A and B are shown apart, each in its own frame.
Chain A
Amino acid sequence: MTDWIAAARAVGSDVAARHAEDVDRQARFPKESLAALKERKLLGILIPERDGGPGAGIADVVSVCHVLGQYCAATAMIYAMHQIQVSCIVRHGGDSSWHRAFAKRLVDEQLLLASATSEAGVGGDVRSSVCAVEEKGGRFSLAKQATVISYGADSDGILVTARRTPQSPASDQVIVVVPKSGASLEALQGWDTLGMRGTCSNGYHLKAEGEMAQVIPKSYADVSAQTMLPTSHLVWSALWLGIATDAVARARAFVRAEARKKPGVMPPGAVRLAEATSQLQLMKSNVVAALRRYEAALGSEDSLSALPFAIAMNSLKTASSQMAVQIVGQALLVAGLAAYRNDTPFSLGRHLRDAHSAALMVNNDRILANTAQLVLALRDDPELLA
């Protein structure tokens, strides 16, 4: 276990787990967990050594998300979304002195980054923007009706997508790093949801201004395909796996307690527990295989922007999001009423509600439609180990 995973485990069990119920009940930002993550310097781990960070890799971040997901899914989701933004800066800020200086701040000040990709008027398509970067004398301004900025109010900076210029088509986007000092947020709608209540994914009218140097040099199409999309699907899948892992752990604890009461008699939930364990193994293998695939592609822009890779990452998301719900559902059946109740050590209500967000955040139907388009061009892959 790396130090980061040990630290995440400590934050999860000592802090996140303790406040998870209250965060969920009140739909409030998990401030205690985030403070603990900052204290243990887990927010800046992706920053390379040349910019003062420890230079962790995607596998480390994916592992931390998996750990946190076992204690408080909202905390894990916030951490995951933050690291998606950090990845974009680390991988595409390039040698821009502005982005390198900001990366250093991410380590020194343990800044928390949010994302403003969704927008009113584009029908949920994050690869289209209405708002545009308006340049004047080396400075920019932009205004966005952001339908969702998760933990926007508690973040220290926001990555915002927008059209490259006011004349650009909707699909020609860039992504801009906006420290909180350069942004104003006017709340539009609140976040009273079934699950993932602690992410506080409110809608805002966002106004931002700053230097043109804050715009990430690469087009958002490339940033999205090569980094944002695969990283999102990996870190999300990992935390959903974390939810499922804890659900199965609770079900197992229930069955074991039953078995202890009547030695030699197979508890009624045991067979279903075996089934849930097998599903969990399948889900875990899928996440790990996709992680290895991403790591193998990392060195090559061509591999990262190739169709088979995009299809693999899309498929990881749609599969993991469905499996998380199935596995928690199985665990619920294993422990029965003890899991259905909200006041036992085996309660799974929050797990189930949180897991249901997975298919909706970037709706699976949208992703499947995108994959359907891509598979038209996909060639056969007849090898087992290519």
Chain B
Amino acid sequence: MSSSARDRVRTLLKTTGWLQTDIDTLGNDADLYVAGLTSHATVTLMLALEETFDVEFPDSLLRRRTFSSVDAIVEALAEIGVNTEAV
């Protein structure tokens, strides 16, 4: 079974050192900044998302809120044309 965009985002957050809290203990609406995501890591996260989903985030989405939770990220991906149900 192919994994959903949400799962792939979670996997990305799990395998990189950007959070100080294990993503498995966090819900999809948990605040990633409270979990230790820094402004610095946000840019790296954005680049990793662009690579993973082969998309480009437009300027209008380049703000802190876009990356504030798994749900917010998935919502942004959907907005730029990623099929977020299954890939």
Contact A306 B63 (CB under 8 A): yes
Q: Which of the candidate stretches A64-72, A164-172, A185-193, A338-346 sits at the interface with the other chain?
A: A164-172
- Dominant SS among interface residues on chain A: loop
Q: How large is the interface on B (under 10, 10 to 19, 20 to 34, 35 or more residues)?
A: 20 to 34
Residues of the B chain whose Cβ atoms lie less than 8 Å from the Cβ of A308: 59, 62
Residues of the B chain whose Cβ atoms lie less than 8 Å from the Cβ of A379: 58-59, 62
Contact A377 B36 (CB under 8 A): no
**Within 8 Å of chain B (Cβ to Cβ): is A184?**
no
* Nearest B residue to A381, CB-CB: B59
Interface string of B46-69 (1 = CB under 8 A from A): 110000000001111011110000
Interface size on A, residues (CB 8 A): 22
Contact B36 A305 (CB under 8 A): no
Residues of the A chain whose Cβ atoms lie less than 8 Å from the Cβ of B21: 169
Contact A127 B62 (CB under 8 A): no
* Nearest B residue to A225, CB-CB: B64
Q: Which of the candidate stretches B1-9, B22-30, B37-45, B74-82 sits at the interface with the other chain?
A: B37-45
B33, B36, B37, B63 — most chain A CB neighbours (10 Å): B63
Partner of B37, one of A171, A222, A370: A171
* Nearest A residue to B34, CB-CB: A172
Q: Total number of A-B contacts with CB less than 8 angstroms? A: 55
Interface string of A128-159 (1 = CB under 8 A from B): 00000000000000000000000000000000
Knowing A305-B64, A307-B63, the reply to whether A221 touches B43 (Cβ < 8 A) is no
**Nearest-Cβ distance from residue A18 to partner chain B, whole angstroms:** 44
Partner of A377, one of B38, B47, B60: B47
Contact A169 B62 (CB under 8 A): no
Partner of A169, one of B35, B59, B60: B35
Contact A168 B34 (CB under 8 A): yes
Partner of B43, one of A164, A169, A302, A377: A377
Residues of the A chain whose Cβ atoms lie less than 8 Å from the Cβ of B46: 377
Contact A127 B39 (CB under 8 A): yes
Knowing A305-B64, A374-B43, A376-B47, the reply to whether A171 touches B38 (Cβ < 8 A) is yes
Interface string of A304-318 (1 = CB under 8 A from B): 011110000000000
Interface string of A349-386 (1 = CB under 8 A from B): 00000000000000000000010011011010000000
Residue ranges of A at the interface with B (Cβ–Cβ < 8 Å): 127, 164, 168-172, 219, 221-222, 225, 302, 305-308, 370, 373-374, 376-377, 379
11 contacts between A and B (CB under 8 A): A169-B34, A169-B35, A171-B33, A302-B65, A305-B63, A305-B64, A307-B63, A374-B43, A377-B46, A379-B58, A379-B59
10 further A-B pairs in the complex, CB-CB below 8 A; given A171-B39, A306-B60: A127-B38, A168-B34, A169-B21, A169-B36, A302-B63, A305-B64, A306-B62, A373-B43, A379-B58, A379-B62
